[in-house]
Chains A and B, each alone.
Chain A
Amino acid sequence: MHAFKYHRPSSVDAAAALVKGEAKILAGGQSLIQAMKLRLASPSDIIDLGTIKDLAGIKSDGKSVTIGAMARHAEVAHSADVKKAIPALAALAGMIGDRQVRAMGTCGGSIANNDPAADYPAAVLALNATITTNKGKHEADKFFKGLFDTALKAGEIITSVTFQAPKRAAYVKFKNPASRFAIVGVFVADFGGSVRVAVTGAGPGVFRQADMEKALTAKFAPESVASIKVKQDGLNSDLHASAEYRAHLVTVMARRAVEAALK
Chain B
Amino acid sequence: MAVKVSLKVNGKPVSAEVEERTLLVTVIREHLRLTGTHVGCDTAQCGACTVSMNGKAVKSCSFLAMQAEGADVMTIEGVAKPDGTLHPMQAAFKEHHGLQCGFCTPGMVMNAIDFAKSHPNPSESEIREALEGNLCRCTGYHNIVKAIGAGARAMAAGK
| Physical contact A–B (CB less than 8 Å) | yes
Closest Cβ of chain A to B117, distance in Å, is: 12
Closest Cβ of chain B to A117, distance in Å, is: 14
Please indicate the chain A residues that have their CB under 8 angstroms from the CB of B23 in the complex. Answer: 33, 37
Give B42-91 interface residues, CB cut-off 8 Å to A.
Answer: 42-45, 47, 50, 53, 56-59, 61-64, 66-67, 69
B50 & A29 in contact (Cβ 8 Å cutoff): no
Stretch at the interface among A99-107, A129-137, A205-213: A99-107
Q: Mark A11-38, 1 if CB is under 8 A from B, else 0.
A: 0000000000000001011100110111
A30 & B67 in contact (Cβ 8 Å cutoff): no
Closest Cβ of chain B to A58, distance in Å, is: 17
- Chain B CB within 8 A of A46 CB: yes
- Chain B CB within 8 A of A2 CB: yes
Of A36, A48, A103, the contact of B67 (CB 8 Å cutoff): A48
A33 & B63 in contact (Cβ 8 Å cutoff): yes
Please indicate the chain A residues that have their CB under 8 angstroms from the CB of B44 in the complex. Answer: 30, 33-34, 97, 101
B19 & A34 in contact (Cβ 8 Å cutoff): no
A5 & B42 in contact (Cβ 8 Å cutoff): no
Of B21, B42, B53, the contact of A4 (CB 8 Å cutoff): B21
A34 & B42 in contact (Cβ 8 Å cutoff): yes
Q: How many residues of A contact B (CB 8 A)?
A: 30
Chain A residue at minimal CB-CB distance from B57: A100
A29 & B63 in contact (Cβ 8 Å cutoff): yes
- Chain A CB within 8 A of B3 CB: yes
- Chain B CB within 8 A of A244 CB: no
A103 & B132 in contact (Cβ 8 Å cutoff): no
- Chain B CB within 8 A of A148 CB: no
CA A27 – CA B20 in complex, angstroms? Answer: 16
Please indicate the chain B residues that have their CB under 8 angstroms from the CB of A50 in the complex. Answer: 67
Interface of B with A (CB < 8 Å)?
1, 3, 19-21, 23, 42-45, 47, 50, 53, 56-59, 61-64, 66-67, 69, 111, 114-115, 130, 132-134
Beyond contacts A33-B63, A34-B62, A36-B21: 17 other A-B pairs, Cβ-Cβ < 8 A, are A3-B20, A4-B20, A6-B3, A6-B64, A26-B67, A33-B23, A38-B43, A46-B64, A50-B67, A99-B130, A101-B62, A101-B133, A103-B53, A103-B56, A104-B58, A104-B59, A104-B62
